[in-house]
Amino acid sequence: DWTTGNVIEEQIEAIRAQVGDRRAICGLSGGVDSAVAAALVQKAIGPQLTCVYVDHGLMRQGETEQVEKDFVAATGVQLKVVDAQERFLTALAGVSDPEEKRKIIGREFIRVFEQAQAEIVAEAPGDQPVEFLVQGTLYPDVVESGGGSGTANIKSHHNVGGLPEDLEFQLIEPLRKLFKDEVRMVGQELGLPDEIVQRQPFPGPGLGIRIVGEVTRERLDLLREADAIAREELTAAGLDRDIWQCPVVLLADVRSVGVQGDGRTYGHPIVLRPVSSEDAMTADWTRMPYDVLARISTRITNEVRDVNRVVLDVTSKPPGTIEWE
Ligand code: XMP
């Protein structure tokens, strides 16, 4: 009979048997799956695990701190944070094409991760070798990719925050038999903060694919502010459970005329994309209360510089994807 307690006990035994006295690394993305997988492995092998968090500068407000502070406090995990913000910005300079952005972010991520991994191995000479890689693969991922196991070749498109494909690691995949809601229960049982366990889906390439146009530091800061306001109001209105996710998108290549304060402005629109969905394969736009939309719109246009318009995306999927890029 299935209980989160049983799952945790069973996995801890299995991980210990698999790893012995060798070492493992785990990439944290800020998402639920990698966080729960890491917490489980930490519980099983403690200091033999090192986690890596690549700060690509494309996260939302507060998310990096959640990993650095709250996750570490809750688990006691050894964490190596790599500040790669400059590197990602430089690589993305001048690029507007969505696929190009995704490729660049994925490529840079792998390079930074490999470098971090090499450093972890080098920092502990004479220690046990690092032979294992922890992955937050869930049951639906296993089914989707044909049930294969044992290699680091994961489905590509939805796992940019995931992994190098050519590394010689054995995988530890403690969530392989679980569905998302079960993973959340396990995370809760392991004492992870709600902000991580209940987090809505967020793409690996982060805010990089929510800026229509070139990604710059100024635009990222602006979008982070708008996104934080939208999330704050959605949470305050108690809508987090009703909405699958609500991408907030900056149309950086578009300007429109507005009137704010003393005069005419020529600013950018922000798009709200609240969707309802079961699995992200299909989705409908969420019929949100008008007063919540009004609050978000008023606050964003008042508080975020260079934004003078908020628009609502009323497209289902298909034909629109959830993300704009
Ligand atoms: P789309 O835009 O394809 O998104 O309707 C479906 C779901 O996947 C998320 N998404 C991603 N997640 N890496 C991820 O980890 C990605 O590259 C990526 N692209 C889209 C999206 O947020 C939605 O939940």
Comparing CA positions, the residue from 249, 236, 225 lying closest to residue 292 is 236
Model confidence at 156: pLDDT above 60: no
Ligand 1: residue whose CA is nearest its atom 12: 203
Give the per-residue pLDDT at 122: 82
Contact 208, 58 (CB under 8 A): yes
- Among the candidates 142, 172, 197, a domain finishes at 197
| Structural domain includes residue 15 | yes
Question: Is 129 in the same domain as 269?
Answer: no
Give the per-residue pLDDT at 165: 53
| Structural domain includes residue 122 | yes
Question: Is 247 in the same domain as 110?
Answer: no
Q: Which residue among 63, 322, 324, 325 is best mutated to probe the pocket of ligand 1, counting the most ligand atoms within 8 A of its Cβ? A: 322
- Amino acid at site 141: D
Q: Is 83 annotated as a binding residue?
A: no
pLDDT band at 125 (very low <50, low <70, confident <90, very high): low
**Residue 218: Cβ within 10 Å count:** 10
| Structural domain includes residue 203 | no
The CA 159 to ligand 1 mean position distance, Å, reads: 9
The CA 241 to ligand 1 mean position distance, Å, reads: 19
Give the per-residue pLDDT at 144: 77
Predicted model pTM: 0.91
Mean predicted lDDT score pLDDT of the chain:
92
Question: Is 17 in the same domain as 127?
Answer: yes
Query: Which atom of ligand 1 is the closest one to the Cα of 323?
Result: 2
| Structural domain includes residue 271 | yes
| Structural domain includes residue 155 | yes
Ligand 1: residue whose CA is nearest its atom 4: 322
Give the pairing of strands 284-285 and 307-312.
unpaired
Give the per-residue pLDDT at 155: 30
| Structural domain includes residue 51 | yes
Q: Please count the structural domains in the chain.
A: 2
Model confidence at 150: pLDDT above 90: no
Question: Is 220 in the same domain as 114?
Answer: no
Alpha carbons 212 and 65: distance in angstroms, whole number: 26
Question: Is 50 in the same domain as 166?
Answer: yes
Tokens read off for 144? 């989707």
Ligand 1: lining residues by beta carbon, under 6 Å: 157-161, 201, 203-205, 245, 280, 317, 321-323
Q: Is 30 annotated as a binding residue?
A: yes
- Amino acid at site 224: R
Give the per-residue pLDDT at 167: 56
Give the per-residue pLDDT at 1: 75
Question: Is 49 in the same domain as 142?
Answer: yes
Query: Which atom of ligand 1 is the closest one to the Cα of 321?
Result: 5
Model confidence at 203: pLDDT above 90: yes
Question: Is 67 in the same domain as 26?
Answer: yes
Question: Is 30 in the same domain as 150?
Answer: yes
Q: What is the rounded average pLDDT of the residues 104-116?
A: 95
Tell me which DSSP letter residue 60 carries.
P
pLDDT band at 143 (very low <50, low <70, confident <90, very high): confident
Could you give the C-alpha distances from 35 to 38, 77, 154, 298, in angstroms and in order? 5, 11, 18, 35
Give the pairing of strands 263-272 and 248-251.
antiparallel
Model confidence at 117: pLDDT above 80: yes
Question: Is 114 in the same domain as 158?
Answer: yes
The CA 278 to ligand 1 mean position distance, Å, reads: 14
Q: Where are the beta strands (DSSP E) in the chain?
A: 23-28, 49-55, 78-83, 130-134, 170-172, 211-212, 248-251, 256-260, 263-272, 275-276, 284-285, 307-312
The CA 280 to ligand 1 mean position distance, Å, reads: 8
Contact 84, 111 (CB under 8 A): no
- Among the candidates 158, 173, 197, a domain finishes at 197
Tokens read off for 134? 């922890």
Question: Is 248 in the same domain as 170?
Answer: no
DSSP string, 146-187: TT--SSS---STT-TTS--SS---EEE-TTTT--HHHHHHHH
Model confidence at 161: pLDDT above 60: no
The CA 222 to ligand 1 mean position distance, Å, reads: 22
What are 290-318's pLDDT values in tens digits? 999 999 999 999 999 999 999 999 999 99
Query: Which atom of ligand 1 is the closest one to the Cα of 247?
Result: 22
Comparing CA positions, the residue from 263, 238, 258, 249 lying closest to residue 306 is 258
pLDDT band at 166 (very low <50, low <70, confident <90, very high): low
- Among the candidates 170, 197, 224, a domain finishes at 197
Give the per-residue pLDDT at 146: 67
Q: Is 34 annotated as a binding residue?
A: yes
Comparing CA positions, the residue from 220, 232, 315 lying closest to residue 276 is 315
Give the per-residue pLDDT at 262: 87
Q: What domain range is 249 assigned to?
A: 210-312
Tokens read off for 93? 């300079």
Question: Is 272 in the same domain as 306?
Answer: yes
The CA 321 to ligand 1 mean position distance, Å, reads: 9
Give the per-residue pLDDT at 152: 41
Q: Is 38 annotated as a binding residue?
A: no
SS3 41: helix
> CATH code at 94?
3.40.50.620
Q: What is the rounded average pLDDT of the residues 56-62?
A: 98
Q: Is 31 annotated as a binding residue?
A: yes
What are 175-188's pLDDT values in tens digits? 999 999 999 999 99
